Amino acid sequence: MIPQPTAQQALPDETFTLPSDATIGLDDPSAQPIADRFAAQLRTSTGFALPVQEGAGTITLSTSGPDSLGAEGYELRADASGVSITAYTAEGLFRGVTTLRQLLPAKADADSAQDGPWEIAGTTISDSPRYGYRGMMLDVSRHFFTVDQVKRVIDLISLYKVNRLHLHLSDDQGWRIQVDSWPNLTVYGGSKQVGGADGGSYSKAEYAELVQYAADRYITVVPEIDTPGHTNAALASYPELNKGDQAPDLYTETEVGFSSFAIDKDVTYEFLDDVFREVAEQTPGELLHLGGDEAHSTPHSEYLAFVPKAAELVVKHGKRVMGWHEIADGPLPAGTVVQYWGTEDPKAQVLAQKAVEQGATLVLSPANRAYLDMKYDANTELGLDWAGLISVEQSYNWNPATLVPDVPASAIDGVEAPLWTETVDDVSKIEYLVFPRLPGIAELGWSAESALDWSAYRERLAEQGPRWEVLGVNFYRAPEIDWRQELRTRSSSQAVVSSTSCSATVCWCATSLSGASRTSSR
């Protein structure tokens, strides 16, 4: 099981077997969509009718648990007589059903009818998360991903109890969310992507669909509009946002750090006021991310003047500020969440400490541990290496509580694994870099510190392989893991090369982006 639950005990003489006349019962209408979706999946794989009904069932979902379980905690019991999941909220039931899916045989997730038996070894589980923020970031700017592609990512990360999806919606290479008051952002600024192919963007309706799809899986979308650097797509769309009123060309390569808003122009803040208002209107979550990273073309004094003004506009539109750790060099509004992406760099650590001294909290995305776009080893064809090669063990084997020295545990909101997409242009490539590393970051965010142990984790990770096979996930068969023999022999680096979607663009990226270019600009 991943993430490892807080407490689990075997019931040695008990086995639950899903009977063909099984029912799913619930006592809270807010759990109906959870039960319906779970039943629909099980109907597909088992062929059973699985009616969802009020009251007790063969599998019973109940929100009668105590509030001490918190929003996400749950208790689960599987024995010969049935399965019960008890939580305080529907969200807790969703996490419990996620666990139940992992207790069932992998073939329960199949998209076609399978033979039983559908057995679960008797067990009791009591579970709740260590951290409230367990995220993944997807960069939809360097390469654009359609609504259906992002839904696939949401489906897969929800299996590991991830509860935030940070969407990096703007960068030098493309602007990806409709803004009615500045339409050229998407019409022109979103028209291309890395390598020069056509890009894309989300209409308001499409973005709302994504936000809802994520919410139905208890994942909150955190939108990022990166400022004041990483802004070429916006600068290309509107000349007035530039220092000299001269719009640059669209940019489809992968250098960083060359673009900046004009910090001393009023129109910059009128623009951000409109953008943050429209994005905030589409954001049920509390956080709006204003970027703030790698503003190498913004003089530092101007950067320090800019961030509080941009942050004030986020707050004006009812959201809490989130930003990369560079923003902590200046004053931060109350409630700010600072995202740490340093490695062991003391300067980055000082900024994280400065954030906490101001009352901000931290989400940890150490680039040499949590960046999913780093290569696994020197032979990995996709990805970059400026923060190092990140094996599965390297990505798992760290402690969020002690990563940044001299920061109290209470200041850590959680963890996030970012996937930057300079070299990634389709879902199979996303999957290859995300799996098997993302489940480890999700476990660091969910499981108790005492449960974190690499040698036990790698055994549990091996058990996920057959599940990914059933789900058609193009995961990397990392040699560190004792995958079952048939999984080991299917080389997934071959899968990447032979993938029909290995376009000229991405092959170009994979060979020309040695990582040196990004290193030199960081």
Bridging pattern class, strands 220-227 and 24-26: unpaired
Reference 443, options 398, 507, 409, 474; nearest CA is 398
| Least Cβ distance, residue 294 to ligand ACM (angstroms) | 5
| Least Cβ distance, residue 29 to ligand ACM (angstroms) | 42
**Distance (Å, rounded) from C-alpha 475 to C-alpha 477?**
6
Q: What are the Cα distances from residue 450, in Å, to 34, 53, 243, 248?
A: 31, 39, 53, 53
Q: Which residue is nearest to ligand ACM (CB)?
A: 293
CA dihedral 241, 419, 348, 448 (to 10 degrees): 140
Amino acid found at 180: D
**Residue 294 lies near ligand ACM (rule: CB under 6 A):** yes
| Least Cβ distance, residue 71 to ligand ACM (angstroms) | 29
**What tokens were used for 308?**
């509080």
Supply the angle between the helices 427-434 and 147-158 in degrees, to the nearest 10.
20
- How many residues of this chain interact with ligand ACM, rule: CB under 6 A? 4
**What tokens were used for 61?**
């979902």
Across the strands, what pairs with 459? none
With respect to ligand ACM, which residue has the nearer C-beta, 168 or 217? Answer: 168
Residue 59: left (phi > 0), alpha (psi -120 to 50), or beta? beta
| Least Cβ distance, residue 293 to ligand ACM (angstroms) | 4
Strand (E) or helix (H) holding 362? strand 361-364
| Least Cβ distance, residue 456 to ligand ACM (angstroms) | 31
Reference 400, options 106, 132, 15, 43; nearest CA is 132
Contact indicator for 354, 304 with CB cutoff of 8 Å: no
Is residue 443 among the annotated active site residues?
Answer: no
**Residue 139 lies near ligand ACM (rule: CB under 6 A):** no
| Least Cβ distance, residue 328 to ligand ACM (angstroms) | 13
Strand (E) or helix (H) holding 288? strand 287-291
With respect to ligand ACM, which residue has the nearer C-beta, 63 or 368? Answer: 368
- The three-class DSSP label of residue 403 is coil
User: Considering 72, 75, 278, 294, which one is annotated as catalytic?
Assistant: 294
With respect to ligand ACM, which residue has the nearer C-beta, 72 or 385? Answer: 385
Supply the angle between the helices 204-216 and 147-158 in degrees, to the nearest 10.
10
**Residue 293 lies near ligand ACM (rule: CB under 6 A):** yes
| Least Cβ distance, residue 315 to ligand ACM (angstroms) | 22
Site string for ligand ACM, 322-351 (x = CB under 6 A): --x----------------x----------
Amino acid found at 472: G
- The three-class DSSP label of residue 212 is helix
Residues belonging to the active site: 294
Binding site for ligand ACM (CB under 6 A): 293-294, 324, 341
